[in-house]
Amino acid sequence: MSHTDAGAELDPVHPVALPVSRPAGLTAAEVAERRARGQVNDVPVRSSRSLGEIVRANVFTRFNAIIGVLWLVMLFVAPIQDSLFGFVILANTGIGIVQEWRAKQTLDALAVIGEARPTVRRDGTALPVAVHEIVLGDLIEVGPGDKVVVDGVCAEADGLEIDESLLTGEADPVVKRAGDPVLSGSFVVAGGGAFQATRVGREAYAARLAEEASRFTLVHSELRTGISTILKYVTWMMVPAATGLVVTQLVVKNHDPRDAVARTVGGIVPMVPEGLVLLTSVAFAIGVIRLGRKQCLVQELPAIEGLARVDTVCLDKTGTLTEGGMDVTELRPLDGADEAYIRKVLGALGESDPRPNASLQAIIDACPDSEDWRCVESLPFSSARKYSGAAFSESDGESSTWLLGAPDVLLPPGDPALAETERLNEQGQRVLLLTRTSRDLDDPDPARGGRPTALVVLAQRLRPDAAGTLRYFAEQDVSAKVVSGDNAVSVGAVAGKLGLAGTAVDARHLPADRAGMAAALDRATVFGRVTPRQKRDMVGALQSRGHTVAMTGDGVNDVLALKDADIGVAMGSGSEATRAVAQIVLLDNSFATLPSVVAEGRRVIGNITRVATLFLVKTVYSVLLAVLVVCAQVEYPFLPRHLTLLSTLTIGVPAFFLALAPNKERARPHFVRRVMRYALPGGVVAGAATFVTYLIARGLYTGGGRLDAQTSAATLTLFLVSLWILAIIARPYTWWRLTLVAAMGAAFLLVLAVPALQAFFALRLVGLTMPWTAVGVAVVAAAALEWLWTWAGRRFAE
């Protein structure tokens, strides 16, 4: 291809000439007119559920409906003591709504900080606007890393290459020229330009694909899926047990209808693990609020859970381990080249790129522009090519073409300059090669036959928090892999300075097949010269080995890998495209925030596993008691007030504190299995021990008031067994956990000791024989629980 005058249209495959003049875009009057007609990009950007959705999600649940109906019945047929469970449900629902609303406010405030602000040209001036302020016909400027937010037609193209893989699945960039369509949801990987908006709002391509989608929820959350599975099985168990209980209490025993209804409701209510979903939502919401205070935007709520399960984190060097900025520390002319002339070339190259990356910005700062050089063609930098280029008309009328990029890409093997480059890379320096070429920029190999002119040595700024964060991951058994487009030796030296030991591998020599790549990833820690497609392949290879992978990055070359990773983490200063596909955005660009996210996830998962066991033990023993009562044809031993007291002291209050406590235990899979392996034996032992005490009391107590005495004995056994289950679940003990268990025991003793509370809860221990028998049964049950808990831990160890 021959050089052309500025303003002429070039072959669209590679470079384009710079335009002489630019369209001015819409006028203020035209913008106002289009707004009046409703031709605006009105697709709502939602980071969380609306207030109405939060209220509906917390109020209109299957179990709330069951409890609500039973509560209304009890309000009419029994004393207020037996209706306390309904007020507890109201309080729980209110807490859930308030906490999720607070989390929504945090999310929305952070989303405004982190949202994309496209550059729109109006009245000849480029200005950033919010996405929803774009109108039909707007001229939108784009550059590397920018996301295309509405559909349009390309109006200007300066080496513009757009990746449409998020829409089509094809990873190869598409070169655009004037008149070509651009689709919302794609992003720019190289070059720059402008396009005119032709479809906005819900008519845009990406909006039509995702109209019903919300960024608030992940496709999969093992915790929430597991809880849904558990609740489904609970519902199946409840129906026959509750039906049998109703028949037994109302028909077979033929008791006073009011008392029969109260005892029937007393049997049904504890089957419902009503607080489990609430505490899960509250734990997630408080996690969002805590992370929000650290400038961490959780774009998808269960991403906190996902990062806690991660066992491998892939780190992009630039912007993660090193700060975005660089400094030119040295120019090394090759073959006697003149340094002053080299500076002119570098200054002209800097001026030729309207959106320089960090390396080129450092060169611009060190080498001012040579105003008497005119750029004729430009070839923008791309991560796949590893170099950029430009052709110039110099001040003396001569023309020249230059390339700037990776020495090991631009030079043939064995070139003497590579040895010098290698020495600099071993010191952790980044090195670029400036080479003059006689070939056109659209040549398949423009570097072939080029003349190396200078090495540009760049110092990379290490993030002060990177070493500590890498140390944290090592302590938590999370494997760190550094994947970078830079030279492998240089990246390895940087990783070494941060304490990350391991072999550095040039990704150009990695096996192409997934199995071979996975094996290489297991052996090495640092990978250089990684292309964007290879980053994506690496994530897939690690996942094929069963790893849960997090990917961090800030550049457009990280987008594909971020999208495919289990959890994508983007820096707030990164490109719009990376922020759009990531589940977590670190708005303050602090790599040190990641341990906080991991810790929050582990707190949520570990603690919800604990409290889920508490709730489901209650469900199991309630169903078992109902079955035993039906089979034995006896009165149900409890009134609702008794189980409200027991649930509050052994589940409700302790679960709230346990769900929000610190927990650094690494998240493990198989949530349902891990919960049920303890809940089933715990519930069976508690239910069986309680029924044994109840039967003994029925034989011991006869005459008036016998049912109250029988109930009180059974309540004592059930409380003691439930308290022991709480004591087991609270392990390992800390001062506050021991205090919590002791406080719950003291509260129950207070109820037994104060006459007014005895009367309120209908608890009256008669004599000494039966109370001590109840204690003895509870001691035997506690010993059985210890043995079963130990056996289950060994039998189902993961």
Active site residues: 316
In angstroms, rounded to a whole number, what is the distance separating the alpha carbons of residues 153 and 557?
Answer: 24
CB 130 within 8 A of CB 113: no
Residue type, 653: V
In angstroms, rounded to a whole number, what is the distance separating the alpha carbons of residues 147 and 134?
Answer: 14
**Which residues in 110-217 belong to E strands, given as ranges?**
119-122, 125-128, 139-142, 151-163, 174-175, 181-182, 187-199
Spatial strand order in the sheet of 526-528: 296-298, 584-586, 567-571, 549-553, 312-315, 479-483, 526-528, 504-506
In angstroms, rounded to a whole number, what is the distance separating the alpha carbons of residues 219 and 740?
Answer: 37
Which backbone phi and psi does 48 adopt, to 5 degrees?
-160, 175
Residues near 545 by beta carbon (within 8 Å), at least 6 away in sequence: 518, 522
Exposure string for 28-67, b = 16+ CB within 10 A, e = fewer: eebbeebeeeebbbebeebbbbeeeebbeebeebebbebb
| Residues recorded for the chain | 798
In angstroms, rounded to a whole number, what is the distance separating the alpha carbons of residues 597 and 307?
Answer: 7
Nearest to 351 by CA among 330, 375, 328: 375
Nearest to 153 by CA among 580, 144, 145, 162: 162
Rg (CA), the chain: 34
SS3 labels along 751-792: HHHCHHHHHHHCCCCCCCHHHHHHHHHHHHHHHHHHHHHHHH
Burial of 562 (0-12, 13-18, 19+ CB in 10 A): buried
SS3 labels along 33-57: HHHHCCCECCCCCCCCCCHHHHHHH
Which backbone phi and psi does 436 adopt, to 5 degrees?
-100, 135
Collapsing DSSP to helix, strand or coil, 528 comes out as strand
Report strand pairing: 451-462 vs 322-333. Answer: antiparallel
Residues near 510 by beta carbon (within 8 Å), at least 6 away in sequence: 516, 517, 520, 527, 534
Nearest to 465 by CA among 473, 455, 454, 476: 473
H-type helices in 525-593, by residue range? 532-544, 559-564, 576-581
Q: In the beta sheet, which residues pair with residue 763?
A: none
| Secondary structure element (H or E) that encloses residue 376, with its range | strand 374-379
Indicate the angle between helix axes 62-77 and 274-292, nearest 10 degrees.
120
| SS percent in the chain: helix, strand, coil, step 5 | 55, 15, 30
Which backbone phi and psi does 797 adopt, to 5 degrees?
-60, 145
Nearest to 195 by CA among 210, 211, 182, 208: 182
DSSP string, 450-477: -EEEEEEEEEEEE-TTHHHHHHHHHHTT
CB 548 within 8 A of CB 555: no
